[in-house]
Each structure stands twice: as structure tokens, then as C-alpha cells.
Amino acid sequence: MDVHVTRSTLRGTARAPPSKSYTHRALLAAGYSDGATVESPLVSADTRATARAVAAFGGSVARAGDGSSTAEGEPGLTGADALSVEGFGGRPAVPDDVIDCANSGTTMRLVTAAAALADGTTVLTGDESLRSRPQGPLLDALADLDVRAESTRSNGRAPLVVTGPLAGGEVAIPGDVSSQYVTALLMAGAVTEEGIEVELTTDLKSAPYVDITLELLADFGVEATPVDEDGDPLDGAAGAAGFSVPGGQTYAPSDETYAVPGDFSSISYLLGAGAVAAAPGEPLRIEGARPSAQGDAAIVEIVERMGAPVDWDREAGAIAVERGDLSGVTVDVGGTPDLLPTIAALGAVADGETRIENCEHVRYKETDRVSAMAEELEKLGAETTEGQDVLTIHGGESDLVGATVDGRADHRIVMALSVAALAAEGTTTVRGAEHVDVSFPGFFDAMADLGATVERGDARGRE
């Protein structure tokens, strides 16, 4: 589907969707338990893939109150205020069929480690994009733990074949490819007999995402500890040399309920939209922004540094942002890779240079997001310079004009380009706009409610 976004002035209030990262982890954690209710979940294409995996392992995920479940049809989960998860008690059954992770890299990585616990063989696959993403370090780690874990094409990419059961043990894994490998091992390690000791062979990137995991595990009553080089405990994942997870633990949230917080990755697009297009003197209000372990909350400070007035009432979970005269900044996204598209879009609107550093790992997402943003912003008239680990947007040399851009089948690219389109002269056509369903299904509805001129369809006015 194409979406046509015309330069607009925005006003009013939007609500952030629930966190995709927390929802993935909460659904699987509830699956590891004897059962739990996940409140305020994000029901999207990606999280439905995780719900399907829980069902494949012998659990079920249903819309709380009406019993419409993954087994009866996924559309029944859409719009649910809460999901009732029947767990598999820490020991997944061998699936009856291949697990299709669709486009969800988080699902594949977390579920691969869960599959290692089953006493038998699990096959995992996904769409073309997912089958191109690296899984090798996680497969190698599982193999070192005496689990058969292979790529059918012997290239470290899906389809994957995993044969357990995993007993636990000590394992080394790089920390600079994907933090999701670490999360997968921590979550599975808690229910092994021996527990898991994870040694990082390289510095951990995207550490805030492991902090999300640690926070959620604690809420489910599970102990997992980051440690330094001497084995001493740390307060968080940043700077950790490894992790220690005792075995034989039980997943059990307080009152058998877990509430998912709002998603700061998604909030970044609403903040960006306000910073470039809010009506003068009328702050755009964003609700659902309560503090959590999410590293992407850094977008609040980044937007403020660029020159947009921002007021975050943390207790109320509300952010007010005004349009500002934006200026370029330098940002290290080593721990916040999902913010790169938003920062790049804002950099194209700002004066001066915006330099996004430590971003090589952002190339291994749904698409190469570094090249995607450089190439698509240039279609709108932005000037960019791309290095392997740095993306520079020359805002002072950019004059944005509506054009046709490709969302690269990547939800974050689609939304970031739509933010840039709000400041471009004329109308911008964003191709592949349906991919926002991965993390923010109501994104274009929210933009329209704020006053953005948004038309959907392959041609103006036609679905």
C-alpha cells in the first residue's frame, strides 16, 4: 500500500502504542510460566508471531474474556486490552509443525533458544527478509551447550533446525551483533537444570534492550545478574562482561498479571512529528510515556538538544513537544539502534550537520537502515554522507521536496520517512506503508487525527 503525506500542521493529543519489545518478552515469559495475563499488549504482526510460537510449544494465547485464541484465528487478538496466556510450564513441547516467525527477528531469536529446551526437533523459518538476517552466533552458542542447532543452508540464516533438550552450562557469545542473542539465552537459561553462565567476547551493544529483559525477568520472579570481568554483580547490562542465570527457576508474575508499558521507539515518531510540524505555540501531547528500562527514551533528550521544547511529566506519563528551529547534533546509537531512522529524518529538517555514530549494527535489521535512510532521504532532497559506522545528514544543504520514497518493507523506515514528509514541500508518497503493522498499526490513523494530510491507496483516493 502507498500512503501520500502532504506537508501539514499538527495539533492535539496522541497515545503511544504499547512496547513491542516488552510484549514479545512478556508473551514468551508467560509461556514459560504456568499461565499469566498480559495487560496492554501490542498486538501487531511481530507479536502475533511470538503468540503463535507459544501456542506451537503447547501453550495458548487468547483475548482475555472471550477465548478467541491463536488456535482459533489471530484476528481475534487484534485490539485486545489483555491477553490470557496458558503456559507450557517451562518445558516446551515439540511443535507439530514448522514455526513461522514471519518478519520478526525478535521472535526467531527468543524462540530459537526456547526450542532448545524441547526434547526433540523444532524447525523455524520466516519471510525473505528474516531468512537473510544473521542467527549464527546464537546457533554456535547453543551448539556449545550440546544442542544441535543448525542453519539448513549452512550460512547462519533461517530456516533453522534445533534439537534439544538444553541442560544449561557455560557459553561465550559476541555482544556486538545482536543483544537478542543474550536475551534468548537468559530467558531460556532460567528454566534449565544447570542454569547458564554467559560470557561476552565483545562489548555489548544495545545494552538497554538487555536491561528491558532483566527488568521483565524480575517482574516474573526470575533472577538474572549482569557481572563484571571478576564475576561481581552489576546494576545493569551496560559494561557487563557476562551474565549469570541460576537454573530451576519458575516464571510467575505477581498476581499472575504483567502490564506492558508504552513504546518509546514508537514515541520517537510522534515526538519527531511534533518537533517539525506542531502548530506554532500549541504543544503536541503524547500520552503513554511512563519511565521504564527502555533506552529509546533517549529520544526525548535528543529532540530537546536539537532545539524543540519538550516537557516530560514522568509521573503522568505525558510528553508535550513544540515545533522548534532544529539544529544538527551528534548522537551515538550503539545502545539505541532503533532511533537511527527518526534521528536521520529530523537531521534532514534541521540546520547544520547531524552525525549518527556507532551505527554499523543498524545495518542488520529488517533492512540496512543506514543505507535505506541515506538513499531515501536523498530522494526528498537531503544531502547525506554514509560511512560503515557513521551516517551524516547535512541539514544545512538540504531542501526537502515531496517525492516517491520506498519504505523498504521496514516499519521504522516507513514511519521516519513520513515524519520527514511533514516538513517537505508538497506531497510525499511512501511505498510499503502497510508495514507499520509490525509495531504501530495505528500510526497513520494517529497522524491523521493530529491533522496530518494522509491519503492511502496505490493511487490518490483508491485503496
* 3-state SS class at 82: strand
Q: Which of 2, 338, 406, 410 is catalytic?
A: 338
Above 70 in pLDDT, residue 461?
no
463 in a structural domain: no
DSSP strand E in 241-309: where? 242-245, 257-259, 284-287
In a shared domain, residues 242 and 352: no
Assess whether 188 and 291 both reside in one domain.
no
Shared-domain flag, residues 99 and 28: yes
Find the domain containing 359 and state its range.
2-17+262-456
Cα 71 to chain centroid distance, Å, stands at 25
Extract the runs of DSSP E, i.e. beta strands, from 395-448.
404-406, 427-431
Q: What confidence tens digit (pLDDT) does each residue in 34-80 have?
A: 999 999 999 998 999 999 999 999 999 999 876 555 544 455 687 78
Considering the domain architecture, whether residues 120 and 216 belong to the same structural domain is answered as yes
User: Is residue 232 one of the residues assigned to a domain?
Assistant: yes
Percentage of residues in the chain having pLDDT higher than 90 = 92
pLDDT digits (tens, 9 = 90+) for 13-42: 999 999 999 999 999 999 999 999 999 999
Check whether residue 301 and residue 283 sit in a common domain: yes
Q: Which of 259, 278, 301 delimits the end of a domain? A: 259
Model confidence pLDDT, tens digit, residues 187-223: 999 999 999 999 999 999 889 999 999 999 999 999 9
Single-letter residue type at 99: I
Domain count of the fold of the chain: 2
Say yes or no: 145 and 134 in one domain.
yes
What pLDDT does residue 68 have?
54
Residues 370 and 391 sit within 8 Å (Cβ to Cβ): yes
What crossing angle do the helices spanning 20-32 and 207-219 adopt, rounded to 10°? 40
The answer to whether residues 304 and 220 belong to one domain is no
Q: For residue range 73-124, what is the model confidence (pLDDT) as tens digits?
A: 455 687 789 999 999 999 999 999 999 999 999 999 999 999 999 999 999 9
Binding residue ranges = 20-21, 25, 105, 133, 178-180, 206, 338, 365, 369, 412
Instruction: Examine residue 461 and state whether it is found in any structural domain, yes or no.
Output: no
What DSSP element (H or E) covers 394? Answer: strand 390-394
Q: Are 145 and 249 within one domain? A: yes
Last residue of a domain, one of 259, 274, 299: 259
Residue 358, domain CATH? 3.65.10.10
Numbered residues of the known binding site for 3-phosphoshikimate: 20-21, 25, 178-180, 206, 338, 365
Residue 160 shares a structural domain with residue 138: yes
Contact 64, 18 (CB under 8 A): no
235 is catalytic: no
Domain presence at residue 462: no
Binding site members for phosphoenolpyruvate: 20, 105, 133, 180, 369, 412
Residue where one domain finishes, among candidates 233, 259, 285 = 259
* 162/59 same-domain check: yes
Assess whether 117 and 155 both reside in one domain: yes
Write the DSSP assignment of 152-207 as a string of letters: TTSSS-SSEEEE-----EEEEE-SSS-HHHHHHHHHHHTTSSS-EEEEESSPPSSH
Give domain status of residue 11, yes or no. yes
Better-predicted residue by pLDDT, 67 or 361: 361
362 and 432, same domain (yes or no): yes
Position 414 pLDDT exceeds 60: yes
Strands annotated E in 23-157: 36-39, 60-63, 82-86, 99-100, 121-125, 148-151
